[in-house]
Structure 1
Amino acid sequence: MEEIQSQSDHYRSPSSSVSSPANRVPSSNFFYSRKPGTLRQPISFEDSPVWDETDIEVKVDEGGDSINAATTPPSPSLSKINSGSLPSPSLIEREVVTRKIAGASITWKDLTVTIKGKRKYSDKVVKSSHGYALPGTMTVIMGPAKSGKSTLLRALAGRLPDSTRMYGEVFVNGTRRHMPYGSYGYVDRETTLIGSLTVREFLYYSALLQLPGFFCQRRSVVEDAIDAMSLGDYANKLIGGNCYMRGLRSGERRRVSIARELVMRPHILFIDEPLYHLDSVSALLMMVTLKKLATSGCTLIFTICQSSTEVFGLFDRICLLSNGKTLFFGETLACLQHFSNAGFPCPIMQSPSDHFLRAINTEFDRIIAMCKSWQDNHGDLSSVSMDTAIAIRTIETTYRSSADAAAVESMIVKLTEKEGPSLKRKGMAGNATRVAVLTWRSLLIMSREWKYYWLRLILYVFLALCIGTVFSGLGHSLFSVMRRVAAIFVFVSFTSLLGVAGVPSQLKEIKIYTYEESHQHSGEFVFLLGQLFASIPFLFLISISSSLVFYFLIGLRDEFSLLMYFVLNFFACLLVNEGLLLLVASICQNIFWSILSFVSIHVIMMLSAGFFRIRSALPRPAWMYPISYIAFHTYSIQGLLENEYIGTSFAVGQVRTISGYEALGNVYDISDDSNSKWKNLLVLFVMVVAYKVLVFILLKCCIRKNHSVHKLFRCTQNRKDYK
């Protein structure tokens, strides 16, 4: 203990040792004021304020669906007015007022989370954590990076991955049941929004995917979510912006992602890093908005790394973690007293969250090692000369024997000794409704996002124009057969290869699906049908425009039925190509590997399509079986050639004539059956269904577990970070 005390003496800054916490009078003001003419006098913050402990009484009404939580007097603020400033008003004594809150309490007891290591489930990420959260309050889980914050949040929300295992108990309103659908909301750290929709449109479609009923019935829910997150000024603004309008900033995007979960009106809201990538102003606005949301009765639990003093003063309770261990749980300002009791008072003019993280973040040991050889002329380095391991051990030991830990245990017993009302499962939108909503939303996105299909339409028409002009003026003689076959092969192969331009849009669709599926807003079958129905109009527009340009420039047979078959064949070819593109993107989930794999597959299919070497002459082990039968180029080109040459004849000299089938005998393998082209078209549509089934299986098995092939090519396989 003498070593610990000596180390803690080094940790205190000179400013913190000047004044004693007992000599400071807490102020009830959160924002600080000065007298006129005293602008140059610094505002000081309390090292470790002294306050009286307040008890919170929680009562559960039998047969009701709410929890009565007693409000407590406001905690003292983190600052006091200097000698030259206005005197701080004293705290006003008032009676405890009980108000009815439509919320839910959540309690966790001896919660431990392990992940798979060298030995099965040997690495503990969260170690014996205790705590609770009450309706109408904000509970923050704070700690340095990789301390177990996000893992604890996922454990409370029941969203741990398969590679983890949880021990301990989690109670919701005093019961051990899992939280049903619609009773809670979970916001990930990385936001997944649709930039081509406005805020109101985005929330409307989210409400239709989550809730049963018609569009008009969900308008009030969406407007309430917009008002709750203070998004009224941005409701009609595009999230991603456009050429003439700037999109939403990171703070506004974060509030939109939270509003998406509020359309379900959840009892408990979990947020992972709500201040992620936000500046100080946006962070304060976010916390004030969440504080307003908490006063409406919602139970808020979120993680945070560090915050400013103003933001810190808005929290109700704090759960401080380091290396998975709970170093403190209780009232926010009581944490300052706890650190002071452990021998680490907060220095003057330092943010409490910065002070906490400085004491428990082991990364500071590396900084200390770098600074030991430096000479500090101002004495600043004396405040970072503390061994972090000793500080963590001291703070943890002090907390276990403190009255705060006993108060937490007592509150957990009160919240779990009697079962409260169970949360009811809310209704879900039907699959037919979700397919219709996803189809309409995708159509709207594709019509606004020029990189989805409009750019591809221009590229396809331009490529058809180039190929048509190169092979124009071939005539209809026997000598033009080989050149026509080459023109059709180049058209089908190159336009299919041009589908690589759709890789970014497909990856974006998969990312949106992954988020919505994890929140039970969508499903594999619904996603595939919605995307298929939405892409049909654009693909048909591409097929008919490109086919018309190519067909008439080449000078193919001038019959309407043959032209319609050409368009239909190319349309089916594009559908198969989209299915292949979605399959590759689902497997790779990376733009580089997706493009590389897609181009490689197309090159192999082009080589086995029967143009460079007749299909019957291909080597049988690999190129003929199974590659030539898998390549959709084979059936598309064969059907187009049968459409052009079956039923035609060519004169050989002045007496003899040969059929179109015989003319193609040494150029390309086709069938002399007049119905063969329809069989090839049927095979193409069967391939469309087959690729969708493969993607369905892949989404069902792999995407949910975040597996992708491109991870196998990493030089070193890193374990997923748990924060």
Structure 2
Amino acid sequence: MALIGPSGSGKSTLLAALAGILPSNVRMTGNVLLNGTTRTKGCRDISYVTQEDYFLGTLTVKETLTYAAHLRLPADMNKNEIDKVVTKILAEMGLQDNADSRIGNWHLRGISSGEKRRLNIGIEILTQPHVMFLDEPTSGLDSAAAFYVISSLSNIAHDGRIVICSIHQPCGEVFNLFDDLVLLAGGEAVYFGEAAMAVKFFADAGFPCPIKKNPPEHFLRCVSSEFDSVTTLIQSRNVNIDVRSLIFIEFSYENDDKGDQIRTCRTLQELHTFCKCKDENQRYKKKLIAGSLLFNIGTSNEAIFSRGKCDGFIFGLMVFLCLGGVPFYLEELKVFKRERFGQHYGVAIFVMSHFLSSFPFVLAISLSSGTILYHMVNFHPGFSHYCYFCMNMFCFISITEGCILFVAALTPNLLVAVGAATGVTVSKFKDHLPYCNESGFLFTL
């Protein structure tokens, strides 16, 4: 079923109302019923695909589907069964040739937009949902990619599932793939029925479609031209729409037990660790540069002040190194929000898995940084002092990453997140950072 209409006609709002994801500041009257009963919040027989495609760009197509399958499919399925499901989804979405290709992100080239959209749909059909909502799945795609995406959705619908998607202005080939059509204008339903009968409906209402004219374009032009024309069409419609009976389906849902939560946490921990292994920045050169700037400060009277500032400089450097992970935190948060909507895991499991996956990397960074900087700067000798220094670095980096993740969760985009985190960092460590004079010599204030 296709929802078409001009911009602002209410397509996305209707989808959000049916899927139960309306914003908190929007009030909805009436009820959305499934098989005569109120939809439960944790119902997994409904999936919603947004316009944006959120993935971890360092993973390949097959790896993304595999991890999604481990999170969504029943716990009693073994690895071979999951691999068969993943292979089937790859074939169904036409992604076999790109199974080992990286998805890509802001700094890594990957698959095309159409392939990302099909991958997003493939993730949602892993659990075989009875009802699928898609918000403009062809947005930003060329005609060939749009036809491939809608053709895949048509095959899914013919397998016995309900597929409802909003689409702005489909071409003729794409329009012919839809079975039913809902035409909206000004928040009102102008037409609701079979897509093939829409042309006859407009002709009977006095708006015949010209020959060689794309029917959706003609429909949109009719409902967008004048308000009186829209009113005439609304009054002449002969189909009564009852939203409560729009979707009629039997569903079942079982709550996750503690075993599933532990399994989910372990899977997320493995996923985060795998991503960090594939995209861990090489920071050793930066540590060596920092150590060379503060190399063997000494214990003279002139060096006492610089020695006191050294700790602030080192920990400030660690903060700026952590800021480099803000884009990846935002990427993970976007994926988390999508998974959270599907009731696959909650905030506590996400935070715990993120901490457990980061623990070995933070420990390795603390030991390597502490070893390089402690001996190059020539701090107070003694193994206990060295261990205390490394432990401080570990705690500091862990707390800093947690704060940056918190800031990233509150900000809408990458630029604001980096700006907010940088502002907090500079205001905290501005009195401890070294400066350069006009001659290029390093000194501290």
Aligned residue in 1 for 2:153: 290
CA distance in structure 2 between the partners assigned to 1:169 and 1:490 by the alignment? 59
Distance apart, 1:251 and its partner CA? 1.1
> Which deviations, in whole Å up to 9, do the C-alpha atoms of 1:334-387 show, x marking residues without a partner?
1111111111111111110111111112xxxxxxxxxxxxxxxxxxxxxxxxx5
Q: For residues 347 and 553 of structure 1, do their structure 2 counterparts lie closer, same or farther at Cα, with a shift above 3 Å needed?
A: same
In 2, Cα distance between equivalents of 1:215 and 1:306: 43
In structure 2, the partner of 1:31 is: none
Contact 2:323 2:421 survives alignment (8 Å): yes
Over the matched positions of the two proteins, sequence identity in percent amounts to 31
- Give how far 1:258 is off: 0.7
Query: Is 1:140–1:304's contact at 8 Å kept on the other side of the alignment?
Result: yes
Deviations 1:396-429 (A, max 9, x none): 1211xx3xx16x67xx99x69xx98741115647
Deviation at residue 201 of structure 1 after TM alignment? 1.2
- Equivalent residue for 1:605? 428
Partner of 2:195: 332
> What is the match of residue 403 of structure 2?
580
Give matches, 1:99-118, under 5 Å.
none
1:479-518 mapped onto 2 (5 Å cutoff)? 480-518=303-341
The CA distance in 1 between the partners of 2:179 and 2:296, in whole Å, is: 80
Measured after TM superposition, the shift of residue 179 of structure 1 is: 7.4
- SS of 1:165's equivalent? coil
Superposed, 1:30-49 pairs within 5 Å as none
SS of match in other structure, 2:196: helix
Deviation at 1:224, TM superposition (A): 3.0
| 1:196 aligns with one of 43, 49, 58 | 58
Which of 350, 357, 361 is matched with 2:213 structurally?
350
1:535 is the counterpart of 2:358? yes
Tell me the secondary structure at the aligned position of residue 177 of structure 2.
coil
Amino acid of the residue matched to residue 156 of structure 1?
A: L
Are 1:228 and 2:92 counterparts? yes
Is this contact kept in 2: 1:208–1:215, CA < 8 A? no
Instruction: Find out whether 1:323 has 2:186 as its counterpart.
Output: yes
Paired residue for 2:70? 208
What's the counterpart of residue 443 of structure 2?
A: none
- 1:569 and 2:392 correspond: yes
Shift of 1:222: 2.5
Task: For residue 140 of structure 1, report the CA deviation from its aligned partner.
Answer: 1.1
Residue in structure 2 matching 1:149, options 6, 11, 21: 11
What residue number does 1:661 align with?
Answer: none
Aligned to 1:270: 133
1:259 maps onto 2:122 in alignment:
yes
Which residue number in structure 2 is paired with residue 447 of structure 1?
A: 277
Residue matched to 1:547:
370
Asked if residue 238 in structure 1 is aligned to residue 65 in structure 2, the reply is no
Describe how 1:542-691 pairs up with structure 2 within 5 A.
542-606=365-429
Partners in 2 of 1:348 and 1:577 — Cα distance?
A: 65
- 8 Å contact from structure 2 (residues 61, 119) kept in 1: yes
- Residues 56 and 332 of structure 2 are in contact (CA less than 8 Å); yes or no, is this contact kept in structure 1? no
From 162, 178, 197, the counterpart of 2:24:
162
User: 1:322 and 1:292 mapped to 2: Cα distance?
Assistant: 29
- SS of the counterpart of 2:94? coil
Measured in 1, the distance between the counterparts of 2:216 and 2:292 equals 69
Counterpart of 1:436 in structure 2 is 266
SS at match of 1:271: strand
Task: Report the residue type matching 1:393 in the other structure.
Answer: T
| Offset at residue 242 of structure 1 (A) | 11
In the TM superposition, what whole-angstrom CA distance separates every residue of 1:670-707 from its partner, at most 9, and x where no partner exists? xxxxxxxxxxxxxxxxxxxxxxxxxxxxxxxxxxxxxx
Q: CA deviation at 1:241?
A: 7.9
Using the size of structure 1 for normalisation, the TM-score is 0.56
In structure 1, distance between residues paired with 2:144 and 2:248: 40
Unaligned runs of 5+ in 1: 1-138, 362-386, 612-723
Please report how far the alpha carbon of residue 174 of structure 1 lies from its aligned counterpart in structure 2 after TM superposition: 4.1
Contact kept in structure 1, 2:54 and 2:331, CA below 8 Å: no
Q: Does the residue aligned with 1:166 lie in a helix, a strand or coil? A: coil
Relative to structure 1, the CA distance from residue 603 to residue 231 in structure 2 (aligned partners, 3 Å threshold; closer, same or farther) is closer
In 2, distance between residues paired with 1:552 and 1:175?
69
| CA distance, structure 1, for counterparts of residue 265 and residue 88 of structure 2 | 25
Distance verdict in 2 for CA 1:467–1:231, change over 3 Å: closer
Q: Distance in 2 between matches of 1:534 and 1:330?
A: 51
CA contact (8 A) 1:241 1:248 kept: no
Distance 1:597 1:158, change over 3 A: closer
Closer, same or farther: CA 166–480 of 1 in aligned 2, 3 Å: closer
3-state SS of paired residue (1:306): coil
- What amino acid sits opposite 1:581 in the alignment? I
Change (3 A) 1:474 1:584: same
Q: CA deviation at 1:434?
A: 1.5
Structure 2 residues not aligned, in runs of 5+: 435-445
Identify if the C-alpha distance between structure 1 residues 325 and 448 changes in structure 2 by more than 3 Å, giving closer, same or farther.
same
Counterpart AA for 1:396: I
The answer as to whether partners of 1:547 and 1:566 remain within 8 angstroms in 2 is yes
Report deviation, 1:485.
1.7
**Greater mean alpha carbon deviation, residues 198-207 or residues 258-267:** 198-207
- Shift of the alpha carbon at 1:246? 5.3
Secondary structure class of the residue paired with 2:28: strand
How far apart are 1:180 and its partner, in Å?
A: 5.2
Instruction: Describe the superposition over 1:469-506 as per-residue Cα deviations: whole angstroms up to 9, x where unpaired.
Output: 33334444566443322223322223323432222222
User: Does the CA-based 8 Å contact 1:317-1:329 persist in structure 2?
Assistant: yes
2-side partners of 1:420 and 1:241: how far apart?
39
Bigger CA radius of gyration:
1
Q: Contact conserved, 1:318 with 1:332, CA < 8 A, in 2?
A: yes
Amino acid aligned to 1:438: L
Q: For residues 590 and 312 of structure 1, do their structure 2 counterparts lie closer, same or farther at Cα, with a shift above 3 Å needed?
A: closer
Measure, in 2, the Cα distance between the counterparts of 1:597 and 1:420.
47
Please tell me whether the aligned partners of residues 55 and 331 of structure 2 are also in contact (alpha carbons under 8 angstroms).
Answer: no
Moved more, 434-443 or 535-544: 535-544
Q: Are residue 187 (structure 1) and residue 64 (structure 2) matched?
A: no
Q: 1:465 aligns with which of 271, 278, 288?
A: 288
Q: What is the distance in 2 between the residues matched to 1:316 and 1:494?
A: 59
Mapped to 2, the partners of 1:420 and 1:504 lie a distance apart of 42
CA offsets 1:289-335 (integer angstroms, 9 cap, x no match): 11111111111111111111111111111010001000011111211
Q: 1:7-156 to 2 correspondence within 5 Å?
A: 139-156=1-18
3-state SS, counterpart of residue 163 of structure 2: strand
1: CA distance, partners of 2:160 / 2:196: 22
Are the equivalent residues in 1 in contact too, given 2:56–2:331 (CA < 8 A)? no
Kept in 2: contact 1:318–1:331 (CA 8 A): yes
The answer to whether the 8 A contact 1:141-1:318 is kept is yes
For residues 304 and 322 of structure 2, the distance between their equivalents in structure 1, rounded to whole angstroms, comes to: 28
Taking the aligned partners of 2:335 and 2:131, their CA distance within structure 1 comes to 23
Deviation of residue 237 (structure 1)? 1.9
What does residue 109 of structure 1 align with? none
Distance 1:391 1:602, change over 3 A: same
Q: Deviations over 1:589-629 (max 9, x none)?
A: 333332332233223333688x9xxxxxxxxxxxxxxxxxx
3-state SS, counterpart of residue 350 of structure 1: coil
Which of 229, 234, 239 is the equivalent residue of 1:391? 229
Measure, in 2, the Cα distance between the counterparts of 1:297 and 1:426. Answer: 22
Tell me, in whole angstroms, the C-alpha distance in 1 between the residues paired with 2:221 and 2:249: 42
Are 1:212 and 1:427, in contact at CA under 8 Å, matched by a contact in 2? no
2:269–2:356: 8 Å Cα contact kept in structure 1?
Answer: yes
